[in-house]
Structure 1
């Protein structure tokens, strides 16, 4: 089972968000980032304020392992955006394993097109009677400040995904559909993250996923 691919360019993502960035909003273990403190890193509000934010549970079943092989950026805003981009991916997978297209976790970490994408992915799995199992690896992360305003800064986060060890699993029977590694196992994500006024949480606003990403292989 592979995620549906979208073809909008990263430049279009940035332009789309900058048109509506004033509000910064939109619609309502082994998976730690290397060298980063999970869920912290935003310089405003303070680190203590960040620690006080009640984040949703995105604990995954023991048979699903997400690996985020990311290096922490030196810039604090970019590091915070990368942290919450990973949390968005965790929340999306959590919604799949919970079989709930309206799960609040992905809504906490996303808005606008990114929220719609997460919902559509979860719905596809639920409608097909599938969940996901195995190991899903994310790597080669890059961050780039994309502008925005003081109220809503934006950072474009890109990274690769290797799904060669992640498989679809039938919910009713528990049967795993194992597939061989191929170019289809590799995808490239571009996620536009936006800071939130008076909150340390960065939310995914727009996303593209390019399938059969040759640059992510090897």
Structure 2
């Protein structure tokens, strides 16, 4: 099967509700939303963490993924230092989640660093599910069409798409990947709410996922 998405939170906060429906949809300027245009260059899980000058003085955890687990972030750069720092923290949150699954560690310090509240509880439960099932992950996920709305200087809503057609669960004992044909369920739409801490860390506080969403399916 394709990688299971994180469990959907009950609801996003009002700020996330303001996001336009659909990843990468056109921005209504009357709502004050900031549409990400980005560069054409892809970013992978080798992206360095943001510098203290860009995102506060907090020391971010070092996150390492095995060679068979890759996350590619397409056009996740805006040219605006503050917004790019936010996007980098979200990318590191994604990498932290995968690293916790690979390690089988729902109590990962990196999860606690990049998640907060209900979203943290959901992420830990999701990782524990992989542990209980004796599974890990392998392959490449492509994240694309980020759509960012800055609500204020410390709060934002971010929608994006994920292509999991080349990513799979795998059995921990046999190390065998569970490969299925590509289908609409290989594509996932995400809506998230992120908040900046006093140390400048953008933490995910709410996360919704919709597998098979027409908004992200080619």
The TM-score range, normalised by the shorter chain, is 0.7 to 0.9
Superposition map of 1:1-218 within 5 A: 1-6=3-8, 8-10=10-12, 12=14, 14=16, 31=44, 38-40=48-50, 46-47=53-54, 50=56, 53-147=58-152, 153-197=154-198, 199-218=199-218
Kindly tell me: are residues 7 and 182 of structure 1, through their superposed partners in 2, closer, same or farther at Cα, counting changes over 3 Å? farther
The answer to whether the Cα contact below 8 Å between 1:67 and 1:136 also exists between their aligned partners in 2 is: yes
Note the C-alpha offset of 1:71: 3.3
For the aligned residues, what is the CA RMSD? 2.5
Note the C-alpha offset of 1:12: 4.4
Matched residue SS, 1:72: coil
CA distance in 2, matches of 1:81, 1:73: 11
Kindly tell me: are residues 105 and 7 of structure 1, through their superposed partners in 2, closer, same or farther at Cα, counting changes over 3 Å? closer
Note the C-alpha offset of 1:210: 1.2
CA distance in 2, matches of 1:122, 1:145: 29
- Work out the number of aligned pairs and report it: 192
CA distance in 2, matches of 1:64, 1:96: 11
TM-score, normalised to structure 2, is: 0.79
CA distance in 2, matches of 1:215, 1:168: 24
CA distance in 1, matches of 2:61, 2:79: 26
TM-score, normalised to structure 1, is: 0.79
The answer to whether the Cα contact below 8 Å between 2:112 and 2:120 also exists between their aligned partners in 1 is: yes
Matched residue SS, 1:161: strand
CA distance in 1, matches of 2:118, 2:15: 10
Is there any run of 5+ residues in structure 2 with no aligned partner, and where?
Answer: 18-41
CA distance in 2, matches of 1:155, 1:76: 15
